[in-house]
Structure 1
Amino acid sequence: MRKLLAILVISCWATSAHAQKADLVVTNAKIVTLDPASTIAQALAVREGKIVAVGGNDAVEGLIGPATRRVDAGGRTIIPGLIDSHIHAVRAGLTYATEVNWIGAKTIGEAMERLRQAAKARPASWIIVAGGWSELQFAEKRRPTLTEVISAVPDNPAYIQLFYSALLMTPKAQQALGISADQLPAGITAERAASGETTGWFNGSIVSISALFDRLPRPNFEENVAGTRQFFTELNRLGITGIVDPGGFSIYPGHYAALQKLWREKSLSVRVAYSLFAQNVGAEFEEYKTLTPFLPMGFGDDMLRFNGIGERITGAMYNNNAPDAATKDKFLEIVRWAAKQGLTVTIHWQEDKSVHQLLDLYEQVNKETPIAPLRWSIAHLDNTSPETLARMKALGIGWTMQDAMYLGGDRIVAQAGEAARSMPPIVTALRAGVHVGAGTDAHRVASYNPFVALQWMLDGKTVGGLPTRGPDETPSREDALRLYTVGSAWFCFDETRRGTLETGKLADFAILDRDFMSVPVEQIGGTASLLTVVGGKAVYAADAFASAK
């Protein structure tokens, strides 16, 4: 009996010891942990999706067992997985497999070649560029002409959107939509040359252009799934492991089915926290009250989680710098209800001169229900003032800051002049103690590339090379990286679980193809990941690390 008991004890000990070995060990790295001490480590170990050791190579040796996957980083830099605090990624994924993007195209010729390749792959189908580009990225410093687009795709209806302000439609596209220069949807106007002839370009607002976009043919469900998978893999290639998604125009409840399918299959490669964006103008409160009983705050898991409402709460308050009393009352009714429901609220706001209209209402709500624990946030607000930041800090409101000035800074400088040198006031916000998360607002108005955004945070230059933000508002490399990691994690209640590489945190990280901390700033925008890991699982691997996936 004693012999049998001893055998059982030894067997249990051996099983326990084996179970304590790491699933994954990475060694010979430069690990930018972003912990409070700014530690640079050499190795880390992962077990059951979490980091169990960080330190020198010797710190992980005892955790290596027969089943442990070993990765030699070869001296490369590892950073925490990047988290975009404001990106319309769910919507982008729906159409990624069927759209053309001009992100990174340096000439009109290159952009036209992308159209030609899309037409070749999908003869006679719609060619759609939904945004994410600026004419200043092209060497020609202009928009493509109707003639150039027709020459590239003569047999396809083509729709090309520039931000939310302009779009080009070829005659085939106009015909398919039942549109002509003399018969346009509300809010859309035709651009005309000096001769009076139409140019093929049309102007509009975010509301009118979004309404027109809704009339374009939609990809089917299988294309939604394929596009979402492809887009998230593209985000992984750029070191992104998490997103906070504010919904957006043209995305309705049924459009989340592709995302949910990948989640059910456990094949999501990006952690998603998403909000509900009001689609039914005039009936927003009813919409929220109908949908949220099925989505209590925080509903979901580590890969897919409901994160409240926004970024449009009511249509009447959206982009409204002078809301009347009735508009504010309706808005107040909804946000007061949201606070009582424990919901996070994020809102789109552009101008500091009018943000007092919003903060006055939030202060009213806060008297009844403290909102600081709910992590409400304001998106955009590039020209925010120290006074506004102080009010936000007092309320516990965070700021999701994007690189809108990378593509649009030339226009903003022309309008704002010297004031643009402090836009956005990143350093001032950090000194004020406001929670700040970095992001892009992609993909219709910006590139989704986080390293382009990080480079812009450090050099303040637009895509056309114009310096804008001055040194007083330029963060350090480490601070910029923190905004894109643990800073963004705050907006989905995860700053204690991810965003830094410390023992006990979720194992989300990326091995980079260059050292973010030391390469010339102008090279940061070209950075890519060689191996991206989410919860200890390799979700993207370049050839050098293919065996790790």
Structure 2
Amino acid sequence: MSRTSADLAVLGATVRTLDPSRPSARAVAVRGGSIVAVGDDAEVREFCDARTEIVDGTGTTLTPGIIDGHLHPVHGSHMTSGLDLSACRDVEELRAALADARRELTAGSWIRGFGLDPNILDGKRPHRRLIDDVLGEVPALLVLADAHAALANGAALRLAGVTGPVEVPGNSEIVCDLDGTPTGELLEDPARNVVERVAPEIGAAETADLLADLFSRMHATGLTGGHVMDLNDGSLEALRLLDERGAAGLRLRLAPWCQPGIDGHGLRELIELQGTRGRLWTVAGVKLFMDGTIDNGTAWLHHPDCHGESTKPFWLPPQEYADAVAELAGAGVATATHAIGDAAASFALECLSRHQRPSIGGARHRIEHIETAPDELVRRFADSGVVASMQPSHLQYTLADHSDNWSTRLGAERANRAWRCADLLRSGTPLVLGSDWPIAHFDPREVLGAAQLRRLPGQPERDPVRSAQALAPLEALEAMTLAPAAVAGEEHVAGRIRPGFRADLTGFGADPLTASPEELAEAPVRLTVVDGVAVHRA
């Protein structure tokens, strides 16, 4: 057996290499986690012998491994292990779902819900009076679709000792009625954590089980890696357990949170955590929040929304954010900043533009979401070198006619600046696409489709939202392969199918560069390879 003989070879495929020196090929061979050959079948067979596993690639289009630029595996696994409320289309359906869940509940358990659409509330704020009589003394915590607000019932509030106003860090709030009685609405994580801390915890072993199942489902959609925008307590222990089990995983870059109120010691801990790694995962970067969301009135806009809300940053005063970014950047740590509103993105961009020297490993600073952006902000992005990280499948939460909660709050002018993926990319701004799972589905075929259709695939009855912002197929594919590799400083080893690069590959049952987005969304994923190992086959 020769030294270069392959472990695995795919022959007879359509190979979209994204490598300018050889844009297309028919076959690929891998060995020991690296690509060793790319070419036609005859060229690649020279690297094969009796021990090489040969995969028939007929009908398969191979691309570099798909990378989700923004997701939350541990947080999402915990959240989605509860009651899915996304199908509730009005308050009565919500109440019926909770009543059914209560009947099936074991003594001492909580009802945990997720995906609650604020549009079913007809413009009203979430309030526990909507659910208290249905639940009685069963504690419940329901997370809204944007995951930046939650609704706790009276029983959960009492267990948490919340009987009146409670001071929480940043632009977060435990909402109370005029008489000081908590409504149950919890805005942003610091408020939600007041109730979360008395709810039953999910241990590391159970988390590892949830992740193993999640990664298997992600592999089946073609995902090979992701940029993880959190590092919950217990995340590292669960990932280490998976490593010990030898479980198939994803190639993950994890960015722990940096929250308002952090002191010098906390910042040093985040810096020291960088480079912590396992078999396929590494801690690389830090996630910060400049604001919340438009739907619950905690975004930071240049001008208030229609309710007079979304007027403040998450960090109060915002200079503390600037100081935290300066210290992290000075230590070579790349940052990712959640900024949905135009004022939040503008302020973050101003701060990050001062810190564009290479970070550890060459990773870049980035801003997440950017849901509404004026022309001036797009121009500044192009000049800054800061990466735009966006989630086109979040368009499912808005409507072209502006009748939804998000659009109503912003008004038509700002709603018409929705998710300007094309303008940012074509201005010269590096663009990374992701799902923000569990806020939207992790299936990259859905993300790629939404980027091109400006609506979700499979919903032809929905009008596209700002169709001028649609990406071309190659632009969308590069934003989930080349771009996430480049912004991580890994463009020399990932994002292309080229000898010497990582053997992370996605095999679609349709060509993402020539098939329609609808066709791609329906096509199977035939093969997913992570680190040279076939983790999914159809």
Q: Give TM class, smaller chain.
A: 0.7 to 0.9
Match of 1:257 among 237, 260, 265: 237
- Name the CA distance, whole Å, in 2 between partners of 1:150 and 1:392: 46
Contact 1:349 / 1:378 at 8 angstroms: preserved in 2?
Answer: yes
TM-score normalised by length of structure 1: 0.77
Shift in Å at residue 164 of structure 1? 3.7
- Name the CA distance, whole Å, in 2 between partners of 1:166 and 1:479: 33
- Name the CA distance, whole Å, in 1 between partners of 2:279 and 2:287: 21
- Name the CA distance, whole Å, in 2 between partners of 1:515 and 1:144: 44
- Name the CA distance, whole Å, in 2 between partners of 1:326 and 1:124: 38
- The match for 2:264 is 285
Residue identity matched to 2:441: S
Note closer, same or farther for the CA distance 1:148–1:353 as it changes in structure 2 (3 Å cut): closer
Contact 1:90 / 1:256 at 8 angstroms: preserved in 2?
Answer: no
Say which SS state the counterpart of residue 255 (structure 2) adopts: strand
Q: Say if 2:256 is the partner of 1:240.
A: no
Shift in Å at residue 261 of structure 1? 2.5
- Name the CA distance, whole Å, in 1 between partners of 2:427 and 2:9: 39
Shift in Å at residue 401 of structure 1? 0.8
- Name the CA distance, whole Å, in 1 between partners of 2:21 and 2:249: 30
Q: Say if 2:82 is the partner of 1:99.
A: yes
Q: Say if 2:286 is the partner of 1:309.
A: yes
Note closer, same or farther for the CA distance 1:526–1:172 as it changes in structure 2 (3 Å cut): farther
Unaligned runs of 5+ in 2: 168-172, 293-297, 302-311
Say which SS state the counterpart of residue 71 (structure 2) adopts: coil
- The match for 2:452 is 458
Shift in Å at residue 520 of structure 1? 3.9
- The match for 1:331 is 321
Of residues 112-121 and 51-60 in structure 1, the stretch that sits farther from structure 2 once superposed is: 112-121
Residue identity matched to 2:258: A
Q: Say if 2:412 is the partner of 1:417.
A: yes
Mapping for residues 475-514 of structure 1, pairs under 5 Å: 475-514=471-510
- The match for 2:466 is 470
- Name the CA distance, whole Å, in 1 between partners of 2:99 and 2:215: 22
- Name the CA distance, whole Å, in 2 between partners of 1:240 and 1:356: 32
Note closer, same or farther for the CA distance 1:363–1:513 as it changes in structure 2 (3 Å cut): closer
Q: Say if 2:380 is the partner of 1:391.
A: yes
Q: Say if 2:368 is the partner of 1:379.
A: yes
Match of 2:247 among 258, 267, 270: 267
Match of 1:539 among 526, 535, 538: 535
Mapping for residues 76-115 of structure 1, pairs under 5 Å: 76-94=60-78, 98-101=81-84
Q: Say if 2:58 is the partner of 1:64.
A: no
Say which SS state the counterpart of residue 282 (structure 2) adopts: strand
Q: Say if 2:59 is the partner of 1:75.
A: yes
Say which SS state the counterpart of residue 455 (structure 1) adopts: helix
Contact 1:27 / 1:42 at 8 angstroms: preserved in 2?
Answer: yes
Q: 1:350-381 CA distances to partner (integer Å, 9 max, x unpaired)? A: 22245333333334456xx6779551111111
Match of 2:340 among 312, 337, 350: 350
Residue identity matched to 1:160: L
Larger Rg belongs to: 1
Say which SS state the counterpart of residue 20 (structure 1) adopts: coil
Q: Say if 2:202 is the partner of 1:227.
A: no
- The match for 2:395 is 405
Match of 1:446 among 440, 443, 457: 440
- Name the CA distance, whole Å, in 1 between partners of 2:96 and 2:20: 48
Q: 1:316-337 CA distances to partner (integer Å, 9 max, x unpaired)? A: xx95565699834433332222
Shift in Å at residue 135 of structure 1? 7.2
Residue identity matched to 1:308: G
Q: 1:192-227 CA distances to partner (integer Å, 9 max, x unpaired)? A: xxxxxx9x9953422423543444221122211111
- Name the CA distance, whole Å, in 2 between partners of 1:113 and 1:514: 38
Say which SS state the counterpart of residue 337 (structure 1) adopts: helix
Note closer, same or farther for the CA distance 1:214–1:451 as it changes in structure 2 (3 Å cut): farther
Shift in Å at residue 382 of structure 1? 2.2
Q: 1:63-100 CA distances to partner (integer Å, 9 max, x unpaired)? A: 2211111111331222322111111223224565x434
Residue identity matched to 2:443: N
Shift in Å at residue 476 of structure 1? 0.9
- Name the CA distance, whole Å, in 2 between partners of 1:237 and 1:153: 38
Q: 1:239-297 CA distances to partner (integer Å, 9 max, x unpaired)? A: 1111111217xx23x44211233235543510111112124x4234321213423x34x
Unaligned runs of 5+ in 1: 1-14, 192-197
Contact 1:157 / 1:173 at 8 angstroms: preserved in 2?
Answer: yes
Question: Which has more helix, going by share of residues?
Answer: 1
Q: 1:7-62 CA distances to partner (integer Å, 9 max, x unpaired)? A: xxxxxxxx5x2x32110011222222222368333221111111122222222222
Residue identity matched to 1:449: D
Contact 1:389 / 1:429 at 8 angstroms: preserved in 2?
Answer: yes
Note closer, same or farther for the CA distance 1:48–1:115 as it changes in structure 2 (3 Å cut): farther
Shift in Å at residue 399 of structure 1? 1.1
Say which SS state the counterpart of residue 451 (structure 1) adopts: helix
Shift in Å at residue 425 of structure 1? 1.7
- The match for 2:277 is 300
- The match for 1:24 is 8
Shift in Å at residue 383 of structure 1? 2.1
Contact 2:153 / 2:184 at 8 angstroms: preserved in 1?
Answer: no
Contact 1:242 / 1:270 at 8 angstroms: preserved in 2?
Answer: yes
Q: 1:497-545 CA distances to partner (integer Å, 9 max, x unpaired)? A: 122222221111122344434444335444552321101102223xxx4
Say which SS state the counterpart of residue 475 (structure 1) adopts: coil
Residue identity matched to 1:397: V
- The match for 2:306 is none
Contact 1:405 / 1:412 at 8 angstroms: preserved in 2?
Answer: no
Match of 1:341 among 331, 336, 348: 331
Aligned-pair identity in percent equals: 22
Contact 1:41 / 1:55 at 8 angstroms: preserved in 2?
Answer: yes
Note closer, same or farther for the CA distance 1:116–1:382 as it changes in structure 2 (3 Å cut): same
